[in-house]
Amino acid sequence: MMENIKKYFERLEGSVIEGEPLKNHTTWKIGGPAALFFEPYTVDALKQAIAYINKENIPWFPLGRGSNLLISDKGINGVVIKLSEKLSDYSVQGTTLRVGAGYSLIKLATIISKKGLSGLEFAAGIPGTVGGAIFMNAGAHGSDMSNILIRAHILYPDGTFKWINCDKMSFSYRTSRLQSEEGIVVEAEFELNEGDPETIKQELQKNKDYRRDTQPWNFPCCGSVFRNPLPYYAGQLIEKSGLKGYSIGGAQVSEVHANFIVNKGDATSKDVIDLIKHIQKTIFEKYEVKMETEVEQVGITD
């Protein structure tokens, strides 16, 4: 079966690999093999791939830069479609930015700041793609994707494309409609503001410096693990519980920021899950606060 699927994908414009280790494509450096790994080079190749997957009822998973994601050590028994910078052209008209979903958010924020356009400064240091950031409504420093998105161009499993306006994206804290329906963002439009390039650059650098100084980017990690259980902050609760630096296997609560779990070199998905459960149990026992993760888990079973 997989051989036939592979033959079909090899006819499309893109890269096809069987058994590709997904730890090579996640910021946590965790994840088993993909039965088939496909990186489309064009939107048309992506459309054909999705239509074929839907027709043949093949399990699949879209992947950006692999941040905010925990993949099982067993991998994914299906087709993983990686949206890379092959699908990342961008154009600017006035204060409107249109950009492909595979574009690096950090890179985009830097480029746009030099053009004197403000609105993406919050994205400095967020290690994901435009598409992944919309999926999660990524944010920091008091802003998020919902504040700048005009509309997202989404490819659905039946092969149709549809522009979805921001007010129809069901955005809330680290949440969008894409988490409850199948669809891939292929491009997006943002409304930015004119500003002084030097001022924007300084704000961007300030945000980058803050993340560098307060977050553990010297080890593989996925970003923040838990949603803030407002009015509390996840990192503060974890640190107050005495769990900063606590380890299970190769997974450790960061000694820099307690809402980060780092891979000390050989962490498995089970190590991370066990550590997450230990944190949840400890904090509920101490403070009766339920800690919910903001990390997408794929192939993880209890």
Residue 169 to residue 185: CA distance in whole angstroms: 12
Cα-flanking dihedrals φ and ψ of residue 217, to 5°?
Answer: -80, 5
- 178: nearest Cα among 32, 186, 37: 186
The H or E element that residue 237 is part of is helix 234-240
Count Cα neighbours of 25 within 13 Å in the Cβ-side half-sphere: 25
Left (φ > 0), alpha (ψ -120 to 50) or beta: where does 288 sit? left
6 alpha-carbon distance from chain centroid? 26
Residue 11 annotated in active site: no
Residue 224 annotated in active site: yes
- 269: nearest Cα among 23, 64, 65, 77: 23
> How many C-beta atoms surround the C-beta of residue 99 within 10 A?
22
Residue 227 to residue 277: CA distance in whole angstroms: 14
Cα-flanking dihedrals φ and ψ of residue 243, to 5°?
Answer: -100, 0
Residue 194 to residue 137: CA distance in whole angstroms: 23
Helix, strand and coil percent figures for the chain, each rounded to 5: 35, 25, 40
Q: Indicate which residue of 84, 224, 254, 269 is catalytic.
A: 224
Q: Indicate which residue of 174, 176, 211, 254 is catalytic.
A: 174
What one-letter code names the amino acid at 36?
L
214: helix, coil or strand? helix
Active site (catalytic) residues: 174, 224, 294
